[in-house]
Amino acid sequence: MKTTEIPASHPGATETFDEQKSLEQLFSEHKGRVSDKWASYFEFYEESLARFRNRHVRILEIGVQNGGSLELWAQYFPNAKCIVGCDVDPKCGQLTFADDRISVVVGDAATSDTETKILSGYGEFDIIIDDGSHKSSDVIRAFARYFPHLSEGGIYIAEDLHCSYWRGYEGELAGPYTSMAFFKRLCDVVNHEHWEIGDKRSDILRGIADRYAISFDEDALSYIHSIKFLNSICLIEKKAQENNVLGVRRVAGRIADVDRDPLALDGTVREGASGVESKVCLPEENAERLAQILEEKEALLAELANERDALLAEKQLQAERLEERSSELAALTKMLWEKELSITKMVRKNARLLKIALVLLGPLSARGRLRALLPVGIYSTRRMRKLRRKKLFDSRAYFVANPDLTNAGVDPLQHYLQSGFEEGRKVGLDD
Ligand SMILES: C[S@@+](CC[C@H](N)C(=O)[O-])C[C@H]1O[C@@H](n2cnc3c(N)ncnc32)[C@H](O)[C@@H]1O
């Protein structure tokens, strides 16, 4: 078995390649600073990192916490040039490491200041691991900022993407702006040459870029070679652009009993599909936009419903007022009618009084008539009869209609003329 010596400049240097322990072994035996990883990650890391293991790799890890993973990377990569950790927590700045290849930059990885500090020593990295906040915005921003600084042939790993489904991490299932939505969209970027619509790679990330106020380096996107998803992990491999094209068609063999067409295609490039409309449809973002429109319409609807309720309340109030006014009007009408009736009665009585006076007094002057009304017992029997005949006044009927006068010793006609008329007394029962 071939063994290769490792340079003796670091703790792992005493081992030979065939003796190298797996990451899981190193992790299990680790006694230093604390690190925690999910069990399924070890196999993934072993497969993905194997080809880098003994190279002079430059490693960047966003998210240091206790610094355990930095120590493990140092052990796992005996020839690593540098292992740079970045953490927003100032306490990480106090951490010291026995391995001088490890350094820590304190700062928010999503800022230009921190980016400058991170890049100042090495310019670019071969392995970048994002084990930071796991919030969708941070994960996406970190990729936009650091993927351009990944070396050709390098790999970018985003850990703990299960957070992409949790609201506390700006996640949601099938949400258009989550870290998972972003990495899934990068799969389309890998197939950019087949879009047939002339859009830039970054166009398909426009909604996400706008959302997080970032931009994606079009050139860097053309270096995305492959995207690999595992439970909670996404690995993006960067390669030179010529490695990221479909290439020419290769045809092998000579016997084509079923279809001979492929024989003619050897060495040709894929032809563009004809009749493909130039159209970018971003369904999740559309759904979000439609949901927003729906929300606005619902708010408008609620506003209109409030206005309608207010108008109905006003209508009810007006109806109640109208009813009050109608009752008042009915009462006034009744009162008016009663007044008219009493006026009519009064007019009729006045007319009767006048006629009585004419019968009793004959054709006297007005002054004479008035004077003549006053004395008692001056009416002749003949005139009294005339009054009865004309049904203007009947003494008996007067007493019947006004029984309180029966024994009062008054002359009925004189009583009527002097006070009964003004008192409104009836002249007969049918009056
Ligand atoms: C899961 S821990 C890292 C664990 C570490 N990689 C390990 O395996 O031992 C996440 C760390 O990311 C840090 N962090 C959160 N947001 C950050 C940001 N915007 N920039 C840099 N570090 C951040 C937190 O302070 C925390 O220490």
Q: How far apart are CA 352 and CA 350, in angstroms?
A: 5
89 lines ligand 1 (CB under 6 A): yes
Same domain, 331 and 186: no
The torsion angles phi and psi of 393, rounded to 5 degrees, stand at -155, 130
394 lines ligand 1 (CB under 6 A): no
Same domain, 58 and 171: yes
Q: Is residue 260 part of a domain?
A: no
Q: Could you tell me the distance, in angstroms and rounded to a whole number, from the CA of residue 227 to the centre of ligand 1?
A: 23
Q: Could you tell me the distance, in angstroms and rounded to a whole number, from the CA of residue 161 to the centre of ligand 1?
A: 14
Cα 97 from chain centroid (whole Å): 49
Nearest to 22 by CA among 48, 3, 2, 4: 48
Residue numbers of the domain that contains 302 = 296-423
Read off the pLDDT of residues 7-66 as tens digits, 9 standing for 90 and up.
Answer: 444 554 445 555 899 999 999 999 999 999 999 999 999 999 999 999 999 999 999 999
Instruction: Please report, for the domain that includes residue 103, its CATH number.
Output: 3.40.50.150
75 lines ligand 1 (CB under 6 A): no
According to the model, what pLDDT value does residue 413 have?
83
Q: Is residue 290 part of a domain?
A: no
Local confidence band at 111 (pLDDT 50, 70, 90 cut-offs): very high
Domain boundary among 178, 211, 242: 242
Q: Could you tell me the distance, in angstroms and rounded to a whole number, from the CA of residue 138 to the centre of ligand 1?
A: 11
Q: Is residue 314 part of a domain?
A: yes
Read off the pLDDT of residues 258-275 as tens digits, 9 standing for 90 and up.
Answer: 999 999 999 998 876 655
Q: Could you tell me the distance, in angstroms and rounded to a whole number, from the CA of residue 63 to the centre of ligand 1?
A: 3
Q: How many residues does the chain have?
A: 431
| Nearest alpha carbon, ligand 1 atom 5 | 64
35 lines ligand 1 (CB under 6 A): yes
Q: Count of domains in the chain?
A: 2
63 lines ligand 1 (CB under 6 A): yes
Q: Is residue 253 part of a domain?
A: no
Same domain, 223 and 301: no
With 0.85 as the threshold, say if the pTM is over it: no
Same domain, 303 and 187: no
| Nearest alpha carbon, ligand 1 atom 19 | 108
Angle between helices 179-190 and 136-146 (to 10 degrees): 40
Q: Is residue 215 part of a domain?
A: yes
Q: Is residue 187 part of a domain?
A: yes
Q: Indicate the top mutation candidate among 65, 83, 146, 179 to test ligand 1's pocket, ranked by most ligand atoms within 8 A of CB.
A: 65
Q: Is residue 270 part of a domain?
A: no
Most confident stretch, 73-82, 114-123, 259-268, 278-287:
73-82
Q: Is residue 166 part of a domain?
A: yes
CB 262 within 8 A of CB 252: no
Nearest to 114 by CA among 136, 137, 93, 135: 93
